[in-house]
A and B are shown apart, each in its own frame.
Chain A
């Protein structure tokens, strides 16, 4: 026989009813409506690392290849020899202007590559 003292320490527990799909759906609808920041990942207290810049290697390679392929020595009347540089650099004059142009194009491409395009476009998870 159950006595009251026993009942005091072990009150009857109601049987958990079967889960209601409608209840779960309502909760999940509210969860989805929360701002994205609401469910931070576990390490969310630490500031997020900045997005790594996307390097358009293909752009750099294509630019350099085009510059090298289309220019011939003498196409541009420019060489280090034309510049009034010191005797040390004068030895490089024979390479011609095409290398200078190629290097400039590659440099510009590198500069463009440092722009964090992903951040500019906006992060989309």
Chain B
């Protein structure tokens, strides 16, 4: 995919830029902020809502700057930032005790019961996305964060295992269960595929 190759290119650039910041060019950090702010804000908006996303994104970059000497360049900088953002979002949610996803358009339970609406929406991509978002909204904070990192941001299992300090097998089991739960809530039947 073109997106993947673009990320690989930016990963190399990230490594060089991180190196120059660590070598003393603090102002060079602005390049990294420019490059990743959109993705981080989007990710946080999905976790905590658009209102708080920018503030948390700023916190994410400041924390990343402070922790930069501990960054392991074997893993993509983008994933490292996303994990920091996810942890800040979790802390934020714990403090605010709010539901993580912003308000849903309608009550998902009632809407799903209406066969006419389901049929009407069946072919609409937007409707499918909406159904997925509704199902995600029923997950716990940790599960939703894991889903976002693994499937939407496409962090690898090994990368996530390092960040979350657990074995790859344990993480695969969690992801499998998460996917199965989501499929059930979407009314899907997943075959033997992993």
Binding site for B on A (CB under 8 A): 1-5, 7-14, 16-20, 23-24, 26-28, 30-32, 34, 38-42, 44-45
A30 to chain B, nearest CB (A): 5
B33 A28 Cβ-Cβ under 8 A = yes
Q: Which residue of A12, A27, A45 contacts B61 across the interface (Cβ within 8 Å)?
A: A27
The contact string, 1 if C-beta is below 8 Å from chain A, for chain B 27-61, is: 10110011101110110000000000010011001
Binding site for A on B (CB under 8 A): 3, 21-24, 26-27, 29-30, 33-35, 37-39, 41-42, 54, 57-58, 61-62, 65-66, 68-69, 123, 125, 128-129, 131-132, 151-153, 179, 182-183, 186, 188, 190
A23 B62 Cβ-Cβ under 8 A = no
B156 to chain A, nearest CB (A): 14
Q: Which residue of A7, A39, A44 contacts B65 across the interface (Cβ within 8 Å)?
A: A39
Q: What DSSP secondary structure best describes chain B's contact surface?
A: helix
A2 nearest in chain B by CB position: B125
How far is A32 from B27 in the complex, measured between Cα atoms in Å? Answer: 9
B58 A28 Cβ-Cβ under 8 A = no
B58 A4 Cβ-Cβ under 8 A = no
